[in-house]
Amino acid sequence: MQNFFKTSLSCAAIICVSLFSSLSAQAEVSKPQAVSEIDIHQYVGQWYEIAHLPMYFQRNCASNTTANYTLNSDKTLGVLNSCRTKTGETISSQGVAYPQNVGMSQLKVSFLPAGLRWIPFTKGDYWILRVDPEYKVALVGGPSHKYLWILSRSPQIDEATYQSYLQTARQYGYDVTKLVRTAHPE
């Protein structure tokens, strides 16, 4: 009988430790959150895509993917995304980003023609999840985990910086094993 209680107590302790460990692991992953605010004047300009989650809209992009942002007079952002296809052709898509918060870190982006941008549910989330103080590297995604980009002001970033941004994405629950690194041949 005494062995039964010792065994039961040991099992209960193991179960408690396992439960605590799994709750701790879950606590490390949080929902994506945009930074509270950005300096839009530092954010505008050209960014190079370093990596992205595969998506339909970028299916023809093979290399040299960039995004160029401009501040419009109505406080929206002009967006010009460009890339090179496998055949070497440069393709681009022009859109508008609409601020969703005062800090301009949560945007909704539409690439529809201007006359169709009023249609509901046609804008994608563009949340700035992390940006370094000098606005040289940024992590962009949204609440759905469908989209994720690592952007840089230069075509290459060092591995330590890349790994640091991957870690932030992991903490927000993104599956970084699916990230595709973007080639920027010289």
Q: What is the mean pLDDT of residues 121-130?
A: 91
pLDDT score recorded for residue 28? 63
pLDDT score recorded for residue 16? 37
Q: Is the pLDDT of residue 182 over 80?
A: yes
Residues 24 and 45 grouped into a single domain: no
The closest alpha carbon to 87, from 62, 56, 59, belongs to: 62
Residues 148 and 119 grouped into a single domain: yes
Q: Domain tally for the chain?
A: 2
Q: List pLDDT tens digits, range 38-73.
A: 999 999 999 999 999 998 889 999 999 999 999 999
Is position 35 within any domain?
no
Distance CA 98, CA 120 (A): 13
The closest alpha carbon to 153, from 48, 64, 42, belongs to: 48
Domain that holds residue 8: 1-30
Please classify residue 63 by burial: count the beta carbons closer than 10 Å to its beta carbon, then call 0-12 exposed, 13-18 middle and 19+ buried.
Answer: middle
Burial 131-161 (b: 16+ CB within 10 A, else e): beeebebbbbbbeeeebbbbbbeebebeeee
Residues 8 and 80 grouped into a single domain: no
pLDDT score recorded for residue 56? 87
Q: List pLDDT tens digits, range 2-18.
A: 543 444 434 333 333 34
What does the H/E/C string look like for 123-174?
CEEEEEEEECCCCCEEEEECCCCCCCEEEECCCCCCHHHHHHHHHHHHHCCC
Residue with the bigger pLDDT between 1 and 117: it is: 117
Q: What is the mean pLDDT of residues 99-126?
A: 88
Instruction: For residue 83, name the pLDDT band (cuts at 50, 70, 90).
Output: very high
Residues 2 and 47 grouped into a single domain: no
Residues 57 and 135 grouped into a single domain: yes
Residues 3 and 71 grouped into a single domain: no
Q: What is the mean pLDDT of residues 160-165?
A: 98
Of 26-30, 113-117, 149-153, where does the model show the most confidence? Answer: 149-153
pLDDT score recorded for residue 116? 83
- Tell me the average pLDDT of the chain: 86
pLDDT score recorded for residue 1? 47
Is position 186 within any domain?
no
Residues 95 and 151 grouped into a single domain: yes
pLDDT score recorded for residue 112? 84
Q: Which of 20-34, 68-82, 108-122 has the lowest mean pLDDT?
A: 20-34
Is position 86 within any domain?
yes
Is position 3 within any domain?
yes
pLDDT score recorded for residue 123? 87
Q: What is the mean pLDDT of residues 97-102?
A: 96
